[in-house]
Amino acid sequence: MEYQEEWVKLQVEAPFVFNHEATKETEHVWFLFHGYGQLAEHFIRRFDILQEHHHVVALQGLSRFYLDDKYEKIGASWMTRMHREKDIIHQKKYIEEVVQNRLLSIPSFDVKRNYFAFSQGGATLLRWLVDAQPEVNALILWAADIPKEFTVEDFDFLSPDSKVIYVIGDNDPFRSFIEIEKLKDFIKQLKCETDIVTFRGGHSVNRPTLKTVLKNHQLF
């Protein structure tokens, strides 16, 4: 049976969560991107180690689904290969809206802008960063991959003072899907401060390692 596909435009609402309202004492704003099957409200709990002068914002994948056969646990995904280009467009619009919403809520103009992405969230964040080219004080990619369409030159918008940190567990089962050495070489070529961290563990945001990374790079 033959069929045709058309699209209609919708105006929809999408959620995000944050730790507390920003104040004049806010020094850092963090934008977090979770991994496949996670939710923003759970993912943000990893970052309760950040103190009051950190405004922490967790974005959430636009697609939700049940994780178990009892239809109790729910997770979110940033995208699949189906209608990939449309999903990327929708993601960028969503991210831009959240970022502007939060930046406008911060009384301080001298706030450091930090980004953190885990696993599947990494490609989503990077596509928006390359497109929007915002100010980046720190970018932490955790067990994420860099989309193959990007070159080192695509990240020339980063300032020499920007920090790009890549973190991955030595027992991460998804390491085999990432060309680790090629990725490390890519990051080292960036024209900013870079660091690559390996910890003993699997595919998760390890809290002790996170705390150490933040402390070592004066982000804590």
**Domain CATH number, residue 122:** 3.40.50.1820
Task: Indicate the pLDDT class of residue 19, thresholds 50, 70 and 90.
Answer: very high
- For residues 17-21, give the mean pLDDT: 96
pLDDT of residue 10: 87
Length of the chain: 220
In a domain, 112, yes or no: yes
Domain limits for position 178: 16-216
pLDDT of residue 109: 78
Strand partners, 99: none
**Cβ-count burial 140-157 (b if 16+ within 10 Å, e if not):** bbbbbbbeeeeeeebbee
Residue 185 has pLDDT above 90, yes or no: yes
* AA letter at 61: G
Q: pTM for this structure?
A: 0.95
In a domain, 1, yes or no: no
Mean pLDDT of the chain: 95
Question: Helix 84-104 crosses helix 121-132 at what angle (to 10 degrees)?
Answer: 70
pLDDT tens for 60-115 read: 999 999 999 999 999 999 998 999 899 999 999 999 999 999 999 999 778 999 99
* AA letter at 26: T
CA distance 158 to 191: 7
3-state SS, one letter per residue, for 128-153: HHHHHCCCCCEEEEECCCCCCCCCHH
In a domain, 157, yes or no: yes
pLDDT of residue 108: 78
**Token pair for residue 121?**
């969230």
In a domain, 11, yes or no: no
In a domain, 61, yes or no: yes
Residue 160 has pLDDT above 90, yes or no: yes
In a domain, 65, yes or no: yes
- For residues 184-213, give the mean pLDDT: 96
In a domain, 8, yes or no: no
Helices (H), 29-140: 40-43, 84-104, 121-132
In a domain, 3, yes or no: no
Q: How many domains are there within the chain?
A: 1
